[in-house]
């Protein structure tokens, strides 16, 4: 076994999910995440936690959903009971074909998702962490060889998270104290209010309210957005390849938009509801192990030298207690490169220029 | 997909487990049972049942057990809740290596099994059915090519179960009405009492108290065994190949025994407890789709033209209400061929001779 698989399991169990003796852990794994599943099971044995392994095979989900008449039962009690009684859920992504649901009618997929919303909620109420095992399918999606892709994944995952968390704490402090963020680069000049909002130091650990491994971003919930932004990192939205989205905001709402390719997907997203035309998230990538986009949002949005903005739902963790943030059925991240002639300012002071943070070597003030 | 995989799923869901709309089904599947898992998920979708898939990978179980200090938590609540709230459990065997637990200390395996006894009990309280997908590992264990092994499995599984159930009902009637069974063949003359005991018509369906697919046997719980029996169908007991076991009973208890190979395994089994030296089961194979032993008890004991006897625990279904049968921590089946100069009598009347039942063509009375 590649020794990095065991290291991955160790980071996941110890740093990310903070699993302790006696914890009841649900392992949710894709068919090709088997090897990571073995390493995680070993680590859980070492810690003295319990595990139940749930097999998340897209081919099974597809066959079931296609054959079903669409009248799905809401949150079956046994399914709910598994997660309601669990302390943690470790989701080990590793499918065989990301396009497996490509021929399932969308309304059926939505109906099943909706029927299991309570189960999802129960899972999200645990100390859940989502990670991926480098599979051939993901390598293909990234356009990389399996070996190069595995190197890519482990560079992103096997970091010194403790020291990165300390570094990100600085950025969080700046955002928490700030009122206005301005992003300037080619074809972009955007201002957002963040007054009263709390940033999340997403250090790949439930101890930081962070549920992705890898992570490496600091995010908050902006509002009153004004101006224009161009997203030049390619992305896949609802199965459609989308390039060079440009959004213009007035009074916090999208008033004009375009995309070089895939504008249809954008049309559909913006038409979802009123919240889909407002921002729910401003995120700043800090993971220097991620050096290129691979078409997977789990990695792309964490890339150091990028900023992402999400249309739609805001995270509660960023809002003052009792205050509702932007609400929507969607949360769609879009990414812009900040390494080339770009400045990110908080209250008029540059916090990042050309991808370099103020406290880093090489920052040009 | 081999069309027989879908037929297998259909027999399993419709005939064996009698799954209906709204049933909460746990699918427990081995890594190489994936294709059968897809077919079963499709069938469950068609029926409108719910499913949660549990991944039963021996490599994960081994890694976990090896790494654990051995002080396993008893029946974790979330694990128990899954099965306690389920209607059915479909166990789709299909591992990659039957010897995976070969290097795990026996006491740890036992400790984990004991700690999860309540979970097992909850699973056995559902409409559970155990079957196997023809994997390369099982083909190798059987000493057959993957294709020949798949043919073998489907010949055993895809039968006219309804008509076989009717046929087996005759055998059950004979056993239920009878008091004494006598088996005679070369080096064998054994009598057992079955007075007051009830035979199970094991027709591969929960509707018949039968939880194996394939099945095809009628079994009861004998006592007061006297005489000698030779088991000439080779078997694997606790990982040891065992051939030509001979047991001699007096007053229901084994008083003398030998084996041509693997006698050590027999020593160990008989030393378990007092019940391990008495019979718990007499089973008569009726599945004519199974034409050769393959080293898997799920198939071997169902083979038409064989009789099996188990040392150890008796099944409650065979006992009068409130009466305790033979009790033991073990239940070890051993098989003898009845096709060659062999007679099975109930109360002095032959019910099978040379593998042919009294009501079949070719029976020599």
The phi, psi pair for B149, rounded to 5°, reads: -70, -40
Alpha carbons within 13 angstroms on the beta-carbon side of residue A188 total 25
Across the range B227-254, mean pLDDT stands at: 93
Which range is least confidently modeled, A37-46, B93-102, B211-220? B93-102
Checking DSSP bridges between strand B50-55 and strand B24-29, what pairing results, if any?
A: parallel
Across the range B95-119, mean pLDDT stands at: 92
The pLDDT value given to residue B4: 98
| All domains of chain B in start order, with CATH | 3-157 (3.40.1830.10), 161-357 (no CATH)
Distance (Å) from the alpha carbon of B142 to chain A's nearest alpha carbon: 25
Nearest Cα residue to A130 out of A120, A117, A115, A139: A120
| A179-196: burial string, b at 16+ Cβ within 10 Å, e else | eebbbbbeebebbbbbee
Chain B interface test: which of A76, A88, A89, A119 (most B C-beta within 10 Å) = A76
Distance (Å) from the alpha carbon of B161 to chain A's nearest alpha carbon: 25
Distance of CA A194 to the CA centre of its chain: 20
The pLDDT value given to residue B238: 78
Chain B interface test: which of A50, A51, A85 (most B C-beta within 10 Å) = A50
| Other Cβ atoms within 10 Å of A330 Cβ, number | 18
Across the range A16-42, mean pLDDT stands at: 98
Cβ contact B97:B112 at 8 Å: no
Is B176 exposed, middle or buried, given 0-12, 13-18 or 19+ CB atoms closer than 10 A?
Answer: middle
Backbone Cα Rg of chain B: 20
The answer on pLDDT for B119 being more than 90 is yes
Chain B interface test: which of A10, A45, A126 (most B C-beta within 10 Å) = A45
The answer on pLDDT for B259 being more than 90 is yes
Q: What is the pLDDT of residues A93-119, one digit of tens each?
A: 999 988 888 899 989 999 999 999 999
Q: What is the pLDDT of residues A311-343, one digit of tens each?
A: 999 999 999 998 889 999 899 999 999 999 999
| Other Cβ atoms within 10 Å of B41 Cβ, number | 28
Q: What is the pLDDT of residues B50-78, one digit of tens each?
A: 999 999 999 999 999 999 999 999 999 99
Q: Tell me the β-bridge partners of B332.
A: B311
Is B21 exposed, middle or buried, given 0-12, 13-18 or 19+ CB atoms closer than 10 A?
Answer: exposed
Across the range B232-238, mean pLDDT stands at: 88
The answer on pLDDT for B41 being more than 90 is yes
Contacts of B49 (CB under 8 A, 6+ apart): B13, B19, B20, B21, B22, B23, B24, B25
Q: What is the pLDDT of residues A163-221, one digit of tens each?
A: 999 999 999 999 999 999 999 999 999 999 999 999 999 999 999 999 999 999 999 99
Q: What is the pLDDT of residues B280-335, one digit of tens each?
A: 999 999 999 999 999 888 999 999 999 999 999 999 999 998 888 999 989 999 99
The phi, psi pair for A308, rounded to 5°, reads: -125, 150
Q: What is the pLDDT of residues B141-161, one digit of tens each?
A: 899 999 999 999 999 999 999
Q: What is the pLDDT of residues B20-38, one digit of tens each?
A: 999 999 999 999 999 999 9
Across the range A24-42, mean pLDDT stands at: 98
Q: Kindly list the strands in the beta sheet with B279-285, ordered across the sheet, starting from the edge strand earlier in the chain.
A: B200-202, B217-220, B279-285, B306-312, B331-337
- Predicted confidence band of residue A287 (pLDDT cuts 50, 70, 90): very high
Please, what is the average pLDDT of chain A?
96
Structure token pair of residue A50: 């319990």
- Predicted confidence band of residue A123 (pLDDT cuts 50, 70, 90): very high
The pLDDT value given to residue A178: 97
E-strand stretches of B94-168? 127-132
Q: What is the pLDDT of residues A305-315, one digit of tens each?
A: 999 999 999 99
Across the range B193-218, mean pLDDT stands at: 96
In this complex, the residue of A24, A76, A83 whose CB is nearest that of residue B24 is A76
Q: Tell me the β-bridge partners of B26.
A: B52, B89
Contacts of A324 (CB under 8 A, 6+ apart): none
The answer on pLDDT for A365 being more than 80 is no
The pLDDT value given to residue A237: 85
Measured distance CA(A235)–CA(B122) in Å, rounded: 47
The pLDDT value given to residue B197: 97
Structure token pair of residue B124: 């056995």
The pLDDT value given to residue A236: 85
Measured distance CA(B106)–CA(B240) in Å, rounded: 14
Question: Could you report the predicted ipTM of this complex, rounded to two decimals?
Answer: 0.91
Report B:20-79 residues touching A (Cβ under 8 A).
22, 24, 26-27, 29, 31, 34, 37-39, 41-46, 48, 50-57, 59-61, 63-69, 71, 73, 76-79
Residues of B in contact with A81 (CB under 8 A): 78, 81-82, 84-85
Residues of B in contact with A46 (CB under 8 A): 67-68
- Predicted confidence band of residue B236 (pLDDT cuts 50, 70, 90): confident
Alpha carbons within 13 angstroms on the beta-carbon side of residue B200 total 28
- Predicted confidence band of residue B240 (pLDDT cuts 50, 70, 90): confident
Between these two residues, B239 and B109, which has the higher pLDDT value? Answer: B109
Distance of CA A115 to the CA centre of its chain: 23
> C-alpha dihedral over A19, A23, A24, A27, to 10 degrees?
20
The pLDDT value given to residue B239: 76
């Amino acid at each position: 076994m590649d020794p990095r698989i065991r290291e991955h399991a160790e980071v996941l169990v110890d740093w990310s999910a903070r699993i302790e003796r006696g914890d009841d852990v649900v392992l949710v794994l894709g068919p090709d995440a088997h090897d990571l599943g073995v390493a995680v099971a070993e680590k859980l044995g070492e810690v003295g936690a319990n595990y139940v392994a749930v097999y998340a095979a897209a081919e099974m989900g597809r066959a079931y959903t296609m054959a079903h008449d669409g009248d799905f039962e809401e949150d079956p009690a046994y399914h709910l009971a598994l997660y309601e009684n669990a302390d943690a859920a470790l989701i080990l992504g590793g499918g065989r074909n990301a396009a497996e649901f490509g021929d399932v009618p969308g309304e059926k997929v939505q109906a099943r998702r909706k029927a299991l919303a309570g189960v999802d909620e129960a899972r999200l109420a645990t100390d859940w962490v989502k990670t991926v095992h480098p599979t051939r399918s993901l390598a293909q999606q990234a356009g990389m060889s399996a070996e190069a892709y595995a190197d890519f994944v482990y560079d992103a995952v096997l970091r010194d998270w403790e020291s990165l968390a300390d570094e990100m704490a600085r950025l969080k402090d700046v955002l928490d104290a700030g009122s206005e963020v301005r992003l300037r680069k080619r074809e972009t000049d955007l201002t957002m209010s963040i007054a009263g909002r709390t940033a999340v130091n997403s250090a790949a650990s439930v101890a930081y309210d962070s549920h992705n491994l890898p992570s490496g971003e600091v995010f908050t919930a902006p509002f009153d957005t004004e101006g224009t932004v161009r997203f030049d990192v390619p992305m896949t939205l609802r199965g459609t390849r989308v390039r060079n989205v440009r959004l213009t905001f007035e009074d916090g709402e999208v008033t004009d938009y375009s995309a070089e390719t895939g504008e249809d997907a954008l049309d559909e997203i913006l038409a979802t509801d009123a919240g889909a035309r407002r921002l729910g998230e401003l995120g700043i990538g800090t993971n220097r192990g991620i050096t290129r986009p691979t078409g997977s949002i789990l990695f792309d949005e964490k890339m150091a030298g990028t900023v992402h903005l999400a249309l739609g739902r805001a995270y509660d963790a960023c809002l003052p207690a009792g205050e509702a943030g932007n609400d929507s059925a969607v949360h769609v991240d879009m990414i812009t490169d900040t390494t080339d002639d770009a400045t990110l300012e908080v209250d008029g002071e540059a916090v990042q220029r050309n991808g370099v943070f103020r406290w880093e070597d090489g920052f040009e003030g």
